[in-house]
Structure 1
Amino acid sequence: MLKMAGNKSYTIVEYFGGDSGYRCGYCKNDEGNFSHGMWSHTMTVQDYQDLIDRGWRRSGKYVYKPKLNKTCCPQYTIRCHAPKFQPSKSHKKVLKKMSKFISNGELPKEQDGGQPMDSVCDEARPREPSSVCPSEVKRAAITDIQKELPECPAITEVQKEQIRQHADGDSSIVCPTPPTPALTKQPKPLEDFISGSMPDNSSHCLEVRLVRSSPPSPQFKASFDASYQVYKLYQMAIHKDPPDKPSESQFRRFLCDSPLEAEHSPDGPEVGYGSFHQQYWLDGRIVAVGVIDILPACVSSVYLYYHPDFASLSLGSYSALREIAFTRQLQKQSPKLSYYYLGFYIHSCPKMRYKGQYRPSDLLCPETFAWVPIEQCVLQLENTRYARFNQDPDAGDARVLKDVGRALVLYRRAVMPYAAYSRKGKGSSDELEVQQYADLVGQDCAEKILLYRA
């Protein structure tokens, strides 16, 4: 990472644009998927937090932003407010299924209802442009990111009881009077379902280990091959990849390489910020791995892969619930780290709507970049694929680009504003490209991130 006076670290990116369409993995449109892309040589966790809060997302070191008003299946950034999360009936079923398996050792015979528990198919991945490659780091095409964690909505038992109590009451009552605290049954927290008491003679032992993947920790290096072998089996069984496709280099590029540098701060979580693997060890062997980023305001889910022999345990759903619990744990150490980002919500693809059941959750407005409760957004998405969620007609992008001249560029190892770069006679040919890039990242990020100029 480039560091200047005062030990300031910089994010360095190369912008690729994104004018051509590619195959959509959701609706199978051959050229309907559109996104902007850039290669990140290195990135601070705060810059990435700011970028994902503008609709960007990483796959390896490639960072992309879907063109929501043009792409066939719009992908909206979704986050869950982890401290307020309460598991639904179907969530509890998944957690109890795992507890039962650990206790008595018997795998369920089949998955629940054919749920899409894992990542989207390879065709849904962002495509790195073939006509331009990042300077000094030429990469092959990247694969998709985001696991699937299927669930169904459920009304809590407390809500049901309140409805029954007031069903025959005065119709003028808009909100039922809540029962007194003494009569209210407090819902069981998520952690109680995860770490419930197990008998001493349990058939299995499940341990979740957090290992830093970038830069790789000794624990990550020691378990690398075992983790890769699970990934290879997963890709072959779940995504029907031929044996040579999930290569070790592809695994490294997709799930191990990360532009995020390891960072620590006095008010941050003890484990620090950056990219990690959460390894699920069952009786001494890895059966699943959740790839996550720990950022200043959130835990961001990147991918989940698991051993096909354990597919009936709904490991996609289980890992998401564990990651929400992990976010809650980190929030106690760092109060502003309170959200769990599930990647993208795709309402136009019915099997991808399950992410909206991890509530309370919000979707990111694609025009103002304000967070809006998903209940409001879904009403709009029922009528149109693309929607502006912010209902205030006067609201705009608080970080809208105002002066492209203040955007920072890196030219011949020197950091300078784009205006100074242009005065050198270097900016005439790329002004439209730089303008487009700066519009997408916003004024604040444009003034912090270094755009590489050859």
Structure 2
Amino acid sequence: RVLYQSFRSSRCGYCNDETAVTAWMVGYSVPVGLYQELMNHGWQRLGTAFSVCSMPATCCPQYASRTDVTRFQLTASQRRTLRRVLRFVGGRCGPKPDKLSAAELDAEALAEAELSLAAAGPPDSRKARHLRWRRRLDRLRQRAASAESPDAELSRLLAESAARRLRRRQRNSAHSLADYARAFARLDPGRFQVRWLSPDSRELQDSLHDEYACYLTYQQSVHRDVDFDWSFRHFCDVMVSTCLAAERATGRGTYHVQYWLGDRLLGVDIVDVLADSASSMYFFYNPELLRLSPGSFSALHLLSRLSTWHLSFPQGPPMRYLYLGCYVPGNRKLAYKSGLRPFQLLCPETRRWFDFDTVCRGLLLANAGSKYARFAPPAADPAAAAALEASSAAAARDALKVRLPGPSGGLVQPKFVAVRDLPDGAFGRSTAAALDLLGQLAELVGPDAARQLAVVLEVALLLQGGG
């Protein structure tokens, strides 16, 4: 069940203008499947409410973003971030790669030596790597020429050369995210600890005031928000309250991921774990840690944890995506998200996901002067595509269930009726406005989510032309 409110202007959290245009709906016990459908249509959760911006009207375009957990690869910059945090929390040991035994090294060297001759390429090749291999082989042949068995000596020299390369490659090998996860796991829990706490847990209730203090410091120092509501009640409403229906048996639900250094709270990432993905709803941290790139570190920790989530909860499917909230082009605070490759953005028109590096980056630059960029290619038949989209939106609207108002205009009938079955004049003189709002909502959530929604409209706002 949701309470829907149409688009209205408010203060933008990115440029501080009063030109952010956003639609809201308040949710009540939203199942994980419906939540994931809403995420795939650009909705973001804050407390018990979901919001989506109007891209043609809002000041700062907010693109929904995500990364693929199963195909994520660390970059050199992210490894530096992990090393900085590891040093900061006292783990100077760092990750250690698994070493090959002497027998394994000899076997690998012999196998690579057999490939050395082929690596020289055809005799007429002028490629640089082929020329380097030929020069190397010529030097080894000269050294082997004086031996009793030149061919056997050449094979031995090739194996020695390959073994040296393997040792050097192993010594300089790039550590994986799992290597760093093991390094953090070796730390003393009394020194550094990551806690995943559900909203109803006693441990979270005991640490809420620590979270509140960290949250206030973050808002004042990082966002410099002078008009912010600083009350503890507001913090609980937007950060602690959740509308996601938990499924604890499969590990699905809302978690507060707390990062502790001794008895000092470093930061909190509020995460919603869904059917086969998770969403980082909001992250705040101690501003003194800004040099450690805390946003990147927390995202990397989530990726590491989600990659092994199915081992802890085998009842559910493996995690596929981590949703990263909105991405605003040109915003430096959100720039780290594009480095979590493969990074994807949601097309605001077709509601399809596109790769940032191969598709979105160039289109964002090309459309820098426009309100937003469309990532999907233009339809071959625009008229047919528009007709299909209109038909789909009408079907989605008819599938919505809406609560009927009472005779006096108040919501007194606890009955939800599909839009297709609404009686004529169900909302009195506001019926046309109600149908317009329901059509708008159906277009914003898509047909799959529309079939699961039961909508409450505020009649008093309908009379004013709102939602």
TM-score, normalised relative to structure 1: 0.72
Contact residue 208 and residue 278 of structure 1 kept, 8 A: yes
Q: Residue 327 in 1 paired to residue 319 in 2? A: no
Instruction: Write out aligned runs for 1:380-391 (5 A).
Output: 380-384=363-367, 385=370, 386-391=372-377
| Structure 2: distance between partners of 1:221 and 1:310 | 25
Aligned to 1:143: none
Give the corresponding residue for 1:290. Answer: 269
Pick one of 33, 36, 42 that aligns with 2:29: 42
Distance 2:206 2:354 in 1: 43
| Structure 2 contact 196–257 (Cα < 8 Å) conserved | yes
Give the Å deviation of 1:206.
0.8
Q: Which is further off, 423-432 or 377-386?
A: 423-432
CA-to-aligned-CA distance 1:405-437 (integer Å, 9 cap, x gap): 221123422232123233473344511111111
Matches within 5 A, 1:95-244: 95-103=82-90, 168=128, 187-196=174-183, 205-213=191-199, 216-241=200-225
Q: State yes or no: 1:276 paired with 2:255.
A: yes
Q: Find the counterpart in structure 1 of residue 58 from structure 2.
A: 71
Aligned to 1:408: 401
What is the distance in 2 between the residues matched to 1:437 and 1:91? Answer: 39
Partner of 2:326: 344
* 1:443 aligned residue (447, 461, 466): 447
- The AA in structure 1 aligned to 2:74 is P
Q: Which residue of 1 aligns with 2:342?
A: 360
Q: 1:336, CA displacement in angstroms?
A: 4.5
> Which structure 2 residues correspond to residues 259-270 of structure 1 after superposition, within 5 A?
259-264=243-248, 268=250
Cα drift, residue 49 of structure 1: 0.7
Helix, strand or coil: the match of 2:350?
coil
Q: Quick check: 1:14–1:451 contact (8 Å CA) kept in 2? A: yes
What's 2:14 paired with? 26
Structure 1 residues 429 and 238, CA, compared in 2 at 3 Å: closer, same or farther?
closer
The one-letter amino acid of 2:442's match is: A
Unaligned runs of 5+ in 1: 1-11, 106-165, 171-179
Aligned mates of 1:187, 1:398 — CA distance in 2: 51
Greater per-residue helix proportion: 2
Aligned residues: 364
| 1:59 maps to 2:38 | no
Match of residue 114 from structure 2: none
Determine which structure has more spread, i.e. the larger CA radius of gyration: 2
Deviation at 1:168, TM superposition (A): 3.6
Q: Residue 69 of structure 1: CA displacement?
A: 2.6
**In the aligned structure 2, how far is the partner of 1:29 from the partner of 1:226?**
31
Aligned-partner residue type, residue 273 of structure 1? R
CA contact (8 A) 1:41 1:61 kept: yes
Deviation at 1:217, TM superposition (A): 1.5
Residue 112 of structure 2 corresponds to: none
1:67-122 deviations in Å (ceiling 9; x for gaps): 123323211111111122122111111110111122279xxxxxxxxxxxxxxxxx
Structure-1 residue corresponding to 2:98: none
The 1:330–1:440 alpha-carbon spacing in structure 2 relative to 1, beyond 3 Å, is same
Query: Is the counterpart of residue 299 in structure 1 residue 311 in structure 2?
Result: no
Unaligned runs of 5+ in 2: 93-125, 131-161, 405-412, 459-467
Alpha-carbon displacement from aligned partner over 1:104-146 (angstroms, at most 9, x marks no partner):
79xxxxxxxxxxxxxxxxxxxxxxxxxxxxxxxxxxxxxxxxx
Match among 5, 28, 44 for residue 16 of structure 1 = 5
Name the stretch that deviates more: 231-240 or 377-386.
Answer: 231-240
- Counterpart CA distance in 2 for 1:446 and 1:301 is 24
Structure 1 SS opposite 2:183: coil
One-letter code aligned to 2:197: V
Q: Deviations over 1:47-67 (max 9, x none)?
A: 111011001111112211111
Between stretches 362-371 and 22-31, larger displacement belongs to 22-31
TM-score when normalising by structure 2: 0.70
How far is 1:208 from its partner? 0.5
How is 1:313-324 mapped onto 2 (pairs within 5 angstroms)? 313-324=292-303
Q: What is the rounded CA distance, in whole Å, between the counterparts of 1:387 and 1:243 in structure 2?
A: 32
| 1:362–1:198 distance in 2 versus 1, CA, 3 Å | closer
